[in-house]
Amino acid sequence: MTQPLKTVLVTGATAGFGHAIALRLVKDGYRVIATGRRQERLDALAKEAGPALLPFRLDVTDLAAVKALPASLPEGWQEVDVLVNNAGLALGLGKAWETKPSDWERMIATNVTGLVEITRALLPGMVARNSGHVISLGSTAGTYPYPGSNVYGASKAFVEQFMRNLRSDLLGRQVRATTIAPGLCGGSEFSEVRLGDKEKADAVYNGTKPLLPDDIAETVAWVLALPAHVNINHVEMMPTCQASAGLAVDRT
């Protein structure tokens, strides 16, 4: 008997990593529910990917919409086997005392509360079916501090520990939990969103050969394709042009 195709829900599939992940997983034979706020991007993605991709508008900070999952999905798409928690953002690079409170609030609402609530909405189905996988995008910013990372890095540290704790709760169940923590990655809108300026965003990658969204999609495809008894807990990845720089001392 042939197995039904696995259904994957990807948050933030309208750009960058999520877009690459959605297309890669369709190519690998999954059914993909591609979500994000920009409807026109979702429509374009659906056109590109074909019938194995369902465009579904979802703002992860809209907690009523998140809590309505999975029942609000169309019939035949409600059993989500894999959740890819990718939607997220950094806003600003200022020192903690210079930042806008609303930027901090938005990062926490998206990277922390949105991620937790969507996981809470979809996990019970996976546990009941004793089959599933939650993959979350962390960041090297969740491990290595740098100036201006303040709440962004802290939100990614939260993701790391939430996923480790999820794995502990899931011990004995056939539901996997993985964090993928990339470092410098170009080819997405991340820096433009963070800095609000295309020129400044492009300058972040000057003279570098950063990771690309397809590298992240390849990693997601890999952790998913491993035999069901293999759980990759954590993947930290950087381009070869990047390394942690060590401690700094002020000698002024």
In the complex, the residues that contact ligand 8X3 under the rule CB under 6 A are: 139-141, 149, 183-184
Q: Which is nearer to ligand NDP, 14 or 178 (CB)?
A: 14
The whole-angstrom separation of Cα 23 and Cα 45 is 8
Supply angle C-alpha 238, 133, 131, rounded to 5: 160
Number of residues in contact with ligand NDP under rule CB under 6 A: 29
Binding partner at 155 among ligand 8X3, ligand NDP, none, C-beta below 5 to 8 Å by kind: none
The whole-angstrom separation of Cα 235 and Cα 82 is 17
| 142: contact with ligand NDP by CB under 6 A | no
Query: Facing residues of 56 across strands?
Result: 35
Can you tell me which residue has the tokens 């992860």?
60
Smallest distance, ligand 8X3 to C-beta of residue 148, A: 9
Binding partner at 150 among ligand NDP, ligand 8X3, none, C-beta below 5 to 8 Å by kind: none
Supply angle C-alpha 84, 90, 96, rounded to 5: 140
Respond yes or no: is residue 152 known to be catalytic: yes
Q: Which is nearer to ligand NDP, 112 or 175 (CB)?
A: 112
Q: Cβ of 48: how many Cβ atoms within 10 Å?
A: 12
* Percentage helix, strand, coil for the chain under 3-state DSSP, each rounded to 5: 45, 15, 40
Burial 130-161 (b: 16+ CB within 10 A, else e): ebbbbbbbbbbbbbbeeebbbbbbbbbbbbbe
Of 173-202, binders to ligand NDP (CB under 6 A) are 182, 184-185, 188-190, 193
Of 76-95, binders to ligand NDP (CB under 6 A) are 86-89
Q: Which is nearer to ligand NDP, 37 or 129 (CB)?
A: 37
The whole-angstrom separation of Cα 159 and Cα 138 is 6
Binding partner at 86 among ligand NDP, ligand 8X3, none, C-beta below 5 to 8 Å by kind: ligand NDP
The phi-psi region of residue 36 (left if phi > 0; otherwise alpha if psi is between -120 and 50; otherwise beta) is left
Residue of 17, 30, 56, 104 interacting with ligand NDP (CB under 6 A): 17
Which residue in the list 144, 146, 152, 205 is annotated as catalytic? 152
Binding partner at 7 among ligand 8X3, ligand NDP, none, C-beta below 5 to 8 Å by kind: none
Give me the residues that bind ligand NDP (CB under 6 A), please: 11-18, 36-38, 41, 59-61, 86-89, 110, 137, 139, 182, 184-185, 188-190, 193
Enzyme catalytic residues: 152
